[in-house]
Structure 1
Amino acid sequence: MKVYDDKHIKNVVLVGAHHSGKTTLAETMLFEAGLINRRGTIENLNTVSDYHEIEHERGNSVFATPMHTEWRQYKINIMDTPGLDDFIGEIISSIRVADTIVTVINGQYGVEVGTEIIWNYIDKYQKPTLFVINQIDHLGLKYEESYNSLKNLVGNNLVKIQYPLKVDGAQCIIDVLKMKMYKFGPDGGKPEKLPIPDDQKEVAAQLHNELVEKAAENDEELLELYFDKGSLNEDEMRQGIKAGMLNQEVFPVFCTSGLNDMGSGRLMGFIDNVAPSAADLKPEQSVEGNAIEPKKEAPTSLFVFKTIHQPNLGQITFFKVKSGEVHQNDKLVNSRNGETEILNQLFIMDGKKREPVTKLTVGDIGATLKLKYTETNDTLHVAGNPITIKPIQFPEPRTRKSISAANKKEEEKLSEALKKIHSQDPTVVVSYSKELKQLILGCQGELHLATIDWALKNIYGIEAIFERPKIAYRETIQRSANANYRHKKQSGGAGQFAQVHLKIEPWYEGMPEPEGFNIRGKEEVDLPWGGKLVFYNCIVGGVIDLRYLPSVMKGILEVMESGPLTKSYIRDVRVMVYDGKMHSVDSNDISFKIAGAHAFKEAFLNANPSLLEPVQELTVKVPEEMVGSVMTDLQSRRAIIQGIETKDQYQILKSTVPAAELYGYSTNLRSMTQGRATFSAVFSSFQNVPTNVQKELVKQSE
């Protein structure tokens, strides 16, 4: 195929709420450009983008799918994304490499929950964005309500390029940039270009003038020109609109019917002529702090934004050329691990169809097969010119489950399958908790979990069991206690003997040294699970040889790995060993280890032991009218509200909540707020468990 330069490559991502019509619009764009000669439908399971079996079963997009069209001497790379935020990783990675975001709105409903969630990420990445109000020929169209809901979302920088109109029963679109009316037949396709009707001229002229002013505002030369002439021509308006999009100060609005092929050609024409390309965007900064110049003369660098595993092909790696050019059989170095990869094959992907190419230039998106050392978020660069492109920041999991194989013989197979699933979707996080002895799976919600389960069953042939994960409690003490233990064992010949006297106290940062002891030595141990053990040698008169004290501490540390209340880790204790006895023949390291362990355990049980639970710092973004029900629910979860902030039409609730109370919170919050609220949770601290809860937990562990 033809190789396009960076100024004639446009990378757009279609985003929007569930059922806004992204996949159908993408199919129509491919058809209009002649890439396909027949439009598929979601119902017939034959669209280019939704080709995975699970997408056919569920009737919606699960994966972001790269495609391309060639339209009027431009190449447009299109990524069709899911509309459900359970698959937010697919959306974010696509936004990250797109040059322009096309946000699709269902004209019956306007801005929906999914739109709001996705807009937060668009706003974060500050990408040029245009909006498409879709399904304009639907009987339930509410165009003005949809437009106003968009204005509430993005503000006064929203500008109409088009609006829909019915003329004698025919669907029309008034275009205020070109000042023409497009009239479509019942089956859509190529429209008839007509003058704007008399009864619409005043409205169209007003919108045209608003568009001229908005275009002029974003370019000083255009502004002067506008003041001189009182207007701008179409080319000058395009220049100003592009500048405004690059500054996130102009958000154009178009109209389409993706289903009936209305307006898609005009949309692609605008993407060609106006929407920014990679060459127009500001150079990115590398991790090393250098500007990545998007020029074909620069040293080659690729950013890997997506990985998929297909049973018959293996790993497919999708990348964007950030600088230079990449050729078939090029050798590039992975900046993360220093490994050299050979790109034996280069492809342009259209759904599952692969079109081989010999080279790709800066700004383009392509794919290759069977890289050995490369994953999503990696940078590949030419040897001698190291560069690391800033990775995508994926959201933390909102739902966690313990996972195990129903057939215990398949545990290793399960582990390998989950590695591939994580490689394909970094929002799936898998970790083994040595403490809990559980494999913990983190994901974005129940639907996300269902797709993981489907993949395990249908692709990898594994039946998995998902359960509520255990909570990583800690044990500590609230007062001091003394104990001593004599270990004596005689079984012929040399026996075992050791006696240890010790005192334990709660430890906290900055506390004074213990009083009443002759401190001979001190050792602070930063525990792997958090907190400290502070161990004092207070032996006087050599009643215990110094060489045995490490064994005493070793015995104490072994007890601390499995506390007497719930077998949880013990933390934040200090121990003073101040007396004891030994035997010249029978004493040895193992004897003092046993004596130290028993003495510590006895003292611990007498020191008012308490359980500590992990507490999360929870931030909930909720529409103003739903705050009351969310707060009531949080209080039922033992939450402590820390504060409330206002942001636009939302309230930001900040609270601390025990981790044990957040199980299932993602599903409950979505149900309670019709999916309009979002949350994030990060570990805050360990805090004391209420007495009644502690009694129940101790009872359960017996």
Structure 2
Amino acid sequence: MKVYKSQEIKNIALLGNDGSGKTTLTEALVFESGQIKRRGRITQKNTVSDYFPVEQDYGYSVFSTVFHVERNNKKLNIIDCPGSDDFVGAALTALNVTDTCILLLNGTVGLEVGTQNHFRYTERLKKPVIFLVNHLDDEKTDFDNVVEQLKAAYGNKCVPVQYPLNVGQDFNSVIDVLLMKKLTYQNDGGDYKVEDIPDAEKDKAMEWHQALVEAAAENDETLMEKFFEEGELTEDELREGLRKGLVSRSVYPIFTVCAYKNMGVGRLMEFLSNVVPYVNEMPAVHNTRGEEVTLDPNGPTSVFFYKTGVEPHIGEVQYFKVMSGTLKAGDELTNADRGSKERIGQIYVSTGATREAVDQISAGDIGCTVKLKDVRTGNTLNAKDCDNKFNFIKYPNPKYTRAIRAVEESNTEKLMVALTRMRQEDPTWVVEQSKELRQTLVHGQGEFHLRTLKWRLENLDKIAIEFAEQRIPYRETITKSARADYRHKKQSGGAGQFGEVHLIVEPYQDGMEDPTMYRFGNQEIRVNLKGKEEIDLEWGGKLVFINSVVGGAIDTRFMPAILKGIMSRMEQGPLTGSYARDVRVIVYDGKMHPVDSNELSFMLAGRNAFSAAFKEAGPKILEPIYDVEVFVPSDYMGDVMSDLQGRRGLIIGMGSESGYEKIQAKVPLKEMANYSTSLSSLSGGRASFVMKFSSYELVPGDVQNNLIAQFEAENNEE
């Protein structure tokens, strides 16, 4: 295979909602490039994409697929991404290592929430966008309506380059308003015949052509002047204007295609090879130090590994993008993240599961390799005199969590090894060993996401697993001041144990002034501040510990032991055994024995005094509250809002965003356990949501009573 230079390479992400036809389009693109002799079919499980067993079994894409096509002496690297929002990690990774995005739409449905989500990612990353309308052979496709939807959502930047003539089973021709010609296909697709535009279509074609010319001219002053003078641009000038418009995101061209019949695919490839920007025409990436890294094939070699795949009989396949320099087979590089040395044995370019060996790859190109010793997803390998690290891929917060365990306890260690390996393939899986909840948690993007994980563990790793709902990380706190004392005394022959602690507890908030006096009934207790510690608790909140002991009632050397005893009770609150937080403790008096007092005695006295005071201080349970944003078609808004309110959710805002309604709410984590499944059912799969931790808030009284009763019942059973 030819070694392509940076100015001959284009990197493209192929995104779209489930059912838009990405896998079928991939087959047509690879077929048109001559890499396969016959197009595969999803039903026959022989496609270039979706070649993993889990994808073939479930019938939907799980992993991104890297492939390339060569056209007009240019190399197009294309990454076909899963459509489901559950596998958003693959889409975000692809967008970060490519320069242009094709957003494929199902012409029978139009703009879907998945398309909206993907567009938001392109907006955030400032990536050029091409809209591609598929399924023109379906009678329900309404191309003009899809165009109107796109314009309503994204404005007049959406400009059709083509429109279909005869949508439905007999579809075989389009009007191309860039070429100003009619393109007619044979029944088997592929090549097309160029014809004059029929008289009946000339007015519409000219109107859309003028809109395209105006959009192209707006991106170049010279073209704009010519357009004003002559009212027209040449085909090459149109391409140049559209290319600049793509880079600046001031133009979103709309193309048509019938992927199943391979109609429009060749013309799309011509546009991709002639118009979309090369890798060296896009803004440079910055390393973790904020330094710009130029795509210079003659610069120092720096390679970013963005994806790990695990394939039968091969093991780990590591996918990379050359960020600078030229990577050659046999190069010795240093892992900037792990400090280890790596030798690149062989370099490949991919077309799905098929890999072709090459001697070298230039800056901006995408390739893969195998059998690396110590490379993980997100690592950077550098040549000498280069110290780049890259961390530009930001993944979304998880929104679906389950506790996981091996059915056979003997497989627990094997399960953890498998989970660690699988997270290398998909960083949106987050595995957590929760000491607090005494569970191993797997956080993901949705039910499908975790269902796929279960399939792979059971079918490939042969580990039977069970999912369960995660326990909720409640917190306990107090709502008023209370005092207590406790004497620990033990005599068992020889030296005994003695320690007595008197203390006060009260709720704590940041910025509170130091205490000076407390009154409990007729007793007045003055505070003489001798020492103060503010402890930021690892589970959130604070413990403030004040030593107010005067007259030597308790030796200062025993204060750390008292604090240790208090901390042990903070880790196991009296109501539900949850962590306690936001408490101030004032030790104001006590007693000690010249012989029998020791650290253990005061630790136990402090622990029990704190526990007694906590129970008298109006203890309350706090629950984690999450900020939830739901994107939903207006037809389903009422049902979704009612459902959120039924989950104790508080609606705090509503608005419209690109044709969809956005609902903002605060919802307890306890109520979000099955939300992704419920939302999909409520909206017919057309809504999506994101969530992130907001704060801890008091639970309602009835919920607190239930939680305490449940905790007591569990303890009695034990």
Pair in the same fold by TM > 0.5: yes
What CA distance in whole angstroms lies between the structure 1 residues aligned with 2:694 and 2:657? 24
- How do residues 99-498 of structure 1 correspond to structure 2 at under 5 angstroms? 99-166=99-166, 171-498=172-499
Using the TM superposition, give the Cα deviation of residue 172 of structure 1 relative to its aligned residue in structure 2, in angstroms.
Answer: 1.3
Q: Which moved more, 1:602-611 or 1:461-470?
A: 602-611
- Residue type matched to 2:16 in 1? G
What CA distance in whole angstroms lies between the structure 2 residues aligned with 1:653 and 1:670? 15
Aligned to 2:36: 36
- Residue 630 of structure 2: which of 620, 626, 639 is its match? 620
Using the TM superposition, give the Cα deviation of residue 625 of structure 1 relative to its aligned residue in structure 2, in angstroms.
Answer: 4.4
Using the TM superposition, give the Cα deviation of residue 499 of structure 1 relative to its aligned residue in structure 2, in angstroms.
Answer: 2.1
Superimposed CA distance per residue, residues 1-32 of structure 1 (whole angstroms, 9 cap, x where no aligned partner)? 11112222222222111121111111111111
Return closer, same or farther for 1:211/1:548 CA change in 2, 3 Å cut-off. Answer: closer
Return closer, same or farther for 1:533/1:165 CA change in 2, 3 Å cut-off. Answer: closer
Q: Secondary structure in 1 aligned to 2:404?
A: strand
Q: Which moved more, 1:345-354 or 1:252-261?
A: 252-261
Return closer, same or farther for 1:325/1:581 CA change in 2, 3 Å cut-off. Answer: same
Return closer, same or farther for 1:83/1:595 CA change in 2, 3 Å cut-off. Answer: same
Using the TM superposition, give the Cα deviation of residue 536 of structure 1 relative to its aligned residue in structure 2, in angstroms.
Answer: 2.4
Cα pair 1:377 1:391 within 8 Å, conserved: no
Return closer, same or farther for 1:526/1:129 CA change in 2, 3 Å cut-off. Answer: closer
What CA distance in whole angstroms lies between the structure 1 residues aligned with 2:170 and 2:576? 74
Aligned to 1:532: 542
Cα pair 1:303 1:389 within 8 Å, conserved: yes
Q: Secondary structure in 1 aligned to 2:488?
A: strand
Cα pair 1:134 1:256 within 8 Å, conserved: yes
Cα pair 2:154 2:658 within 8 Å, conserved: no
Q: Which moved more, 1:548-557 or 1:393-402?
A: 548-557
1:679 aligns with 2:689: yes
- Residue 638 of structure 1: which of 620, 623, 648 is its match? 648
- Residue type matched to 1:603 in 2? A
Aligned to 1:589: 599
Q: Secondary structure in 1 aligned to 2:43?
A: coil
Superimposed CA distance per residue, residues 15-51 of structure 1 (whole angstroms, 9 cap, x where no aligned partner)? 1111211111111111112111111111111111121
- Residue type matched to 1:162 in 2? Q
- Residue 587 of structure 2: which of 574, 577, 580 is its match? 577
What CA distance in whole angstroms lies between the structure 2 residues aligned with 1:151 and 1:184? 28
Superimposed CA distance per residue, residues 460-488 of structure 1 (whole angstroms, 9 cap, x where no aligned partner)? 11111111111111112222222222222
Using the TM superposition, give the Cα deviation of residue 277 of structure 1 relative to its aligned residue in structure 2, in angstroms.
Answer: 1.5
- Residue type matched to 1:552 in 2? I
Cα pair 2:15 2:22 within 8 Å, conserved: yes
Using the TM superposition, give the Cα deviation of residue 374 of structure 1 relative to its aligned residue in structure 2, in angstroms.
Answer: 2.4
Q: Which moved more, 1:378-387 or 1:690-699?
A: 378-387
Aligned to 1:557: 567
What CA distance in whole angstroms lies between the structure 1 residues aligned with 2:465 and 2:485? 49
What CA distance in whole angstroms lies between the structure 2 residues aligned with 1:688 and 1:420? 39
1:12 aligns with 2:20: no
Return closer, same or farther for 1:93/1:486 CA change in 2, 3 Å cut-off. Answer: same
Aligned to 2:520: none
Q: Which runs of 5+ in 1 are unaligned?
A: none
What CA distance in whole angstroms lies between the structure 2 residues aligned with 1:113 and 1:643? 19
Return closer, same or farther for 1:232/1:433 CA change in 2, 3 Å cut-off. Answer: same
Q: Normalising by structure 2, report the TM-score.
A: 0.94
Superimposed CA distance per residue, residues 194-236 of structure 1 (whole angstroms, 9 cap, x where no aligned partner)? 2222222232222222222221111111112223333111111
What CA distance in whole angstroms lies between the structure 2 residues aligned with 1:256 and 1:619? 34
What CA distance in whole angstroms lies between the structure 1 residues aligned with 2:212 and 2:553? 92
What CA distance in whole angstroms lies between the structure 1 residues aligned with 2:700 and 2:319? 51
Aligned to 2:521: none
What CA distance in whole angstroms lies between the structure 1 residues aligned with 2:40 and 2:341? 41
Aligned to 1:655: 665
What CA distance in whole angstroms lies between the structure 2 residues aligned with 1:665 and 1:613? 17
What CA distance in whole angstroms lies between the structure 2 residues aligned with 1:561 and 1:265? 65
Aligned to 2:82: 82
What CA distance in whole angstroms lies between the structure 2 residues aligned with 1:253 and 1:471? 47
Cα pair 1:7 1:277 within 8 Å, conserved: yes
Using the TM superposition, give the Cα deviation of residue 667 of structure 1 relative to its aligned residue in structure 2, in angstroms.
Answer: 1.8
What CA distance in whole angstroms lies between the structure 1 residues aligned with 2:529 and 2:87? 59
- Residue type matched to 2:577 in 1? K
Q: Secondary structure in 2 aligned to 1:539?
A: coil
- Residue type matched to 2:704 in 1? Q
1:543 aligns with 2:559: no
Using the TM superposition, give the Cα deviation of residue 657 of structure 1 relative to its aligned residue in structure 2, in angstroms.
Answer: 2.0
What CA distance in whole angstroms lies between the structure 1 residues aligned with 2:19 and 2:284? 35
Q: Secondary structure in 1 aligned to 2:259?
A: coil
Return closer, same or farther for 1:248/1:402 CA change in 2, 3 Å cut-off. Answer: same
What CA distance in whole angstroms lies between the structure 2 residues aligned with 1:170 and 1:699? 66
Using the TM superposition, give the Cα deviation of residue 170 of structure 1 relative to its aligned residue in structure 2, in angstroms.
Answer: 6.7
Cα pair 1:325 1:362 within 8 Å, conserved: yes
Using the TM superposition, give the Cα deviation of residue 599 of structure 1 relative to its aligned residue in structure 2, in angstroms.
Answer: 1.6
- Residue type matched to 1:689 in 2? V
- Residue type matched to 2:70 in 1? E
Q: Secondary structure in 2 aligned to 1:156?
A: helix
Return closer, same or farther for 1:522/1:17 CA change in 2, 3 Å cut-off. Answer: closer
Q: Which moved more, 1:59-68 or 1:102-111?
A: 102-111
Cα pair 2:327 2:361 within 8 Å, conserved: yes
Superimposed CA distance per residue, residues 519-543 of structure 1 (whole angstroms, 9 cap, x where no aligned partner)? 3322332222222222222223323
Aligned to 2:678: 668
Return closer, same or farther for 1:435/1:344 CA change in 2, 3 Å cut-off. Answer: same
Using the TM superposition, give the Cα deviation of residue 283 of structure 1 relative to its aligned residue in structure 2, in angstroms.
Answer: 2.1
Q: Secondary structure in 2 aligned to 1:475?
A: strand
- Residue type matched to 1:49 in 2? S
Q: Which moved more, 1:70-79 or 1:38-47?
A: 70-79
Using the TM superposition, give the Cα deviation of residue 341 of structure 1 relative to its aligned residue in structure 2, in angstroms.
Answer: 2.3
- Residue type matched to 2:87 in 1? F
Q: Secondary structure in 2 aligned to 1:279?
A: helix
What CA distance in whole angstroms lies between the structure 1 residues aligned with 2:161 and 2:312? 45
- Residue type matched to 1:125 in 2? L
Q: Normalising by structure 1, report the TM-score.
A: 0.96
- Residue type matched to 1:581 in 2? K
- Residue type matched to 1:98 in 2? T
Cα pair 2:153 2:659 within 8 Å, conserved: no
Q: Secondary structure in 2 aligned to 1:127?
A: coil
Cα pair 2:501 2:605 within 8 Å, conserved: yes
Q: Which moved more, 1:36-45 or 1:653-662?
A: 653-662
What CA distance in whole angstroms lies between the structure 2 residues aligned with 1:510 and 1:172? 72
What CA distance in whole angstroms lies between the structure 2 residues aligned with 1:268 and 1:648? 29
Return closer, same or farther for 1:526/1:198 CA change in 2, 3 Å cut-off. Answer: closer
What CA distance in whole angstroms lies between the structure 2 residues aligned with 1:503 and 1:100? 63
Superimposed CA distance per residue, residues 290-335 of structure 1 (whole angstroms, 9 cap, x where no aligned partner)? 2222221222222222111224222111111222211011122333
Cα pair 1:170 1:186 within 8 Å, conserved: no
What CA distance in whole angstroms lies between the structure 1 residues aligned with 2:157 and 2:103? 15
What CA distance in whole angstroms lies between the structure 2 residues aligned with 1:631 and 1:106? 28
- Residue type matched to 1:595 in 2? A
Cα pair 2:475 2:621 within 8 Å, conserved: yes
Q: Which moved more, 1:467-476 or 1:656-665?
A: 656-665
What CA distance in whole angstroms lies between the structure 1 residues aligned with 2:47 and 2:660? 37
- Residue type matched to 1:155 in 2? G
Return closer, same or farther for 1:207/1:549 CA change in 2, 3 Å cut-off. Answer: closer
Cα pair 1:331 1:340 within 8 Å, conserved: yes
- Residue type matched to 1:324 in 2? G
